């Protein structure tokens, strides 16, 4: 499967966070990659600039947009200071998933 745009990852990402617990970004990426059946080659694919892996970039944008919309939060950063290690959680999963569902129906 080709790597989709970040919008396609929003609902699965919210469902991954639906239990309200904290997950590290790497864990979210791993779960979504399995769910979408991405191959090792797809996971290693880089953006045209060559600086970032496409899939990691899409997940980062997904989480960024969801955080900006108030659907998820970053309750704490990892002690390493790496943004990839920061935890994410969804404080109101049912409301968040419903809002993503409504947005995808109206577009």
Residue 27: CA count within 13 A, CB half-sphere = 11
Give pLDDT tens digits for 64-98: 998 888 888 887 654 444 545 556 777 766 666 66
Give pLDDT tens digits for 14-54: 888 888 788 889 999 999 999 999 999 999 999 999 999 99
List the one residue out of 10, 83, 4, 14 whose CA is nearest residue 42: 4
Residue 55 confidence (pLDDT) above 60: yes
SS3 string, 55-103, reads HHHHHHHHHHHHHHCCCCECCCCCCCCCHHHCEEECCCHHHHHHHHHHH
Contact 9, 32 (CB under 8 A): yes
pTM of the prediction? Answer: 0.75
């Amino acid at each position: 499967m080709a790597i989709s745009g970040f919008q396609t990852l929003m609902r699965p990402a919210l469902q991954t966070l639906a239990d309200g617990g904290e997950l590290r970004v790497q864990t979210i990426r791993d779960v979504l990659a399995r769910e979408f059946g991405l191959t090792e080659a797809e996971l290693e694919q880089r953006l045209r600039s060559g600086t970032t892996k496409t899939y990691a970039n899409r997940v980062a944008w997904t989480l960024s947009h969801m955080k900006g919309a108030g659907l998820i939060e970053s309750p704490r950063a990892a002690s390493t200071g790496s943004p990839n290690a920061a935890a994410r959680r969804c404080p109101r999963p049912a409301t968040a998933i419903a809002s993503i569902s409504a947005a995808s129906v109206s577009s």
